[in-house]
Structure 1
């Protein structure tokens, strides 16, 4: 049995293709609506799996074209992050046989395909029966790494990338002098579809590593959102995914994690570090003239469209680039408008990890760096 899958996001196409081939289906993919129509004519599939939101020709137009040119009624299954009820009803009016809303598991996708066209004559056992989720949007995550050989939790990163299809993890090796690059290459092996390494020859500091990684991912048109996360996973993936969900369901341009202590949250800091953080945050709020509780949390996600605005120009500080990001947002959108586009979302879990690259001595220098920022962005 032959299946044609049409989607402009390679992260999704590769995952779907691999799973269907595992099940024994013959699969061809198309990265655009026009390519999909051309492939349909030559491939003559038993089922078409199509996304709705594509740039050149959307999924509804693909359905129209297929229904117009074919003699038999090939089953069409829509799998899309577009949950607009009018679009869904229009799809059924045009002749789609089923509509799946992302996020959706590969297991559910396979079950719905079997319901429409049955199982292949020669069935293969899937490599894994666990639930792997196709995300509503494709998300790129920059993870800066400097001498993280001992702290890098390869298993957690691999597990997340394996289970959450649509995420791309980009590890930026910031000129490490230990075996960090070797560890990253081992992590990437076998996960090349959704894990990559951006290797910097020289150490430029966290700000520059994040900047380079963000600009690198911004070139990938399939990514809807791009963010960054600390390599020590002091903010875990469950919280990061909730930041993404907030961005998906709002008009915000950027959602920033916050390590605010609140009921039900597991927020752990060293006592001395906590006192210093409170003092620094007070100064930052004064400079930004915005009521932020925590600008320095290393977990942020934003729309791909604002990445160039925020990251094209190098930052003037190595550790306080988060403050500069918000200063650039304020300068671009204006003092009043900017508040509509930034969300600070409290984390449920955050643990200070041993081996932090920011020493207490560095913390004492921050006041001077904040003064530089205030002057530069006046």
Structure 2
């Protein structure tokens, strides 16, 4: 039995293709409806698995198009993140036999296909590890900077995450490590080359530069909707990071940043001395930014892909507090008031200080001097503001939003 998959997101398309092949189906996967129409002129599949939101020709337009072809009777199943009732109704009116809303597990997808086509194998394994994977609504790129992390990288956690969350792409940036970090990263990536990449830097440039290079690298991938970064030690775990993504997806924001606020119901662990220093530094940062931030330095942030080129084009002037520079660049481009509306701080449920952190107490004390450098660069040499249209950010509206972060208690 032959299945034709049409989906412009490679991360989704290749994963679904592999899983259905493992179930015993013959599968052809293409990235756009135009290529699919060309193939349909030569062969007739038993099922078409179709996305709705694709550039050039939508899924609904594709269904209308094939109704005039000899494959008009081929059943069409929809797999899409578009949950508008009008779109779903129209798809069924046009003859779609099923409509699956992302996120959806591969095991459910395969069960629906088997219900329609039957099982091509005498025995399949619908509950395999890959079967529990979810096809995501949006594709997300995550930059993970690494410098001499060979002994701390949690290989199985990274692998299991990409196996279960189709639509995520992890980009590890090896920042000139002198230990076995690169070998460990290559081991993590093996067999998952479409979901994990390695950006190898010949020399150590510091976390700020590693994140900058990784963000610009991922921004070149048009299938990614959102791009963020996360610390290699997973002091912020993937569950909290996915919560940042969900907030970005459903809210009127351009950037969502994790916030390590100590509160009831959250497991936030910091060194006592570091906490005292960060409290004083945070006061300085709030004053400089003119924004009521609770925590700018959390190593977990995610943003719309269209913002990345303008925010990361230039090298940062500081080594450890480039996060502050990011918010200063937003303020410069859009103005303070609009920047405040674009940023959401989301409290984390877990953050654990990991042993072996590269930021020493001595480095923490130097941050005050780095803040002076930021003032000189961004406040004493102001730049012209940029409109939203100049960076082609249209997904989120420019409307005021309610404060979402409770009072800081640490």
Structure 1 regions of 5+ residues with no counterpart?
none
Does structure 2 retain, via aligned residues, the 8 Å contact 1:174–1:204?
A: yes
Residues in 2 aligned to 1:141 and 1:71: alpha-carbon distance in whole angstroms: 40
Instruction: Provide the residue aligned with 2:49 in structure 1.
Output: 49
Q: Is the CA contact 2:172–2:185 (under 8 Å) kept in the aligned structure 1?
A: yes
- 8 Å CA contact 1:143–1:210 kept in 2: the answer is yes
Q: Go from structure 1 to structure 2 and tell me whether the alpha carbon gap of 1:241 and 1:71 turns closer, same or farther (over 3 Å shift).
A: closer
* Pairing of 1:306-325 with structure 2 (within 5 A): 306-325=307-326
Residue 175 (structure 2) aligns with: 174
> More deviation in 153-162 or 71-80?
71-80
Structure 1 segment 281-360 matched on structure 2, within 5 A: 281-360=282-361
Alignment-derived partner of residue 27 in structure 1: 27
2:62 equivalent in structure 1: 62
- CA distance in 2 between partners of 1:202 and 1:20 (Å): 42
Q: Please identify runs of 4+ aligned residues in structure 1 that moved more than 3 A.
A: 121-127
Partner residue of 1:215?
216
1:188-267 equivalences in 2 (<5 Å): 188-267=189-268
Shift of 1:122: 5.8
Report deviation, 1:38.
1.5
- 1:363 alignment partner in structure 2: 364
Residue of structure 2 equivalent to 1:142:
143
The Cα shift of 1:36 comes to 1.6
Name the residue aligned to 1:7: 7
Q: Is the 8 A contact 1:22 1:126 kept in 2?
A: no
| TM-score between the two structures when normalised by the length of structure 1 | 0.98
Determine the structure 2 residue equivalent to 1:93.
93
Number of matched pairs: 378
Indicate conservation of the 8 Å contact 2:23/2:121, yes or no: no
Contact kept, 8 Å, 2:52 with 2:59, in 1: the verdict is yes
CA displacement, residues 246-276 of structure 1 (integer Å, 9 cap, x when unaligned) = 1111221110000011110000001001001
Worse-matched range after superposition: 123-132 or 68-77: 123-132
In the alignment, the residues of structure 2 paired with residue 112 and residue 71 of structure 1 have an alpha-carbon distance, to the nearest angstrom, of: 21
Partner of 1:109: 109
**1:20-41 superposed Cα distances (whole Å, 9 cap, x missing partner):** 0000000001101111221222
User: Structure 1, residues 31-90: CA drift from partner, whole Å, max 9, x if none?
Assistant: 011112212222311000011111111111111112221355211011011111111111
Please say if residues 104 and 134 of structure 1, whose CA atoms lie closer than 8 Å, have aligned partners that are also in contact.
yes
What is the CA–CA distance in structure 2 between the aligned matches of 1:71 and 1:196, rounded to whole Å? 39
For 2:65 and 2:104, how far apart are their aligned partners in 1?
26
Residue 80 of structure 1 pairs with residue 80 of structure 2: yes
**2: CA distance between counterparts of 1:71 and 1:289?**
61
CA RMSD across the alignment = 1.2
Distance (Å, rounded) in 1 between the aligned partners of 2:327 and 2:146: 23
Deviation string for 1:292-336 (max 9, x for gaps)?
Answer: 100000000110000001000110001111000000111111111
8 Å CA contact 2:141, 2:228 repeated in 1: yes
The alpha carbon displacement at 1:191 in A equals 1.2
Q: Which moved more, 1:231-240 or 1:128-137?
A: 128-137
**CA–CA distance in structure 1, aligned partners of residues 71 and 311 of structure 2:** 52
Question: What TM-score do the two structures reach when normalised by structure 2?
Answer: 0.90
Instruction: State the distance in 1 between where 2:280 and 2:68 align.
Output: 67
Residue 156 to residue 341, structure 1, CA distance change in 2 (3 Å):
same
Change (3 A) 1:337 1:122: same
Whole-Å separation in 2 of the counterparts to 1:189 and 1:333: 42
SS in 2 for 1:234: coil
CA distance in 2, matches of 1:20, 1:283: 55
Query: Secondary structure in 2 aligned to 1:91?
Result: helix
Structure 1 residues 30 and 123, CA gap change in structure 2 (3 angstroms): farther
Contact map agreement 1:49 1:77 (CA 8 A) in 2: yes
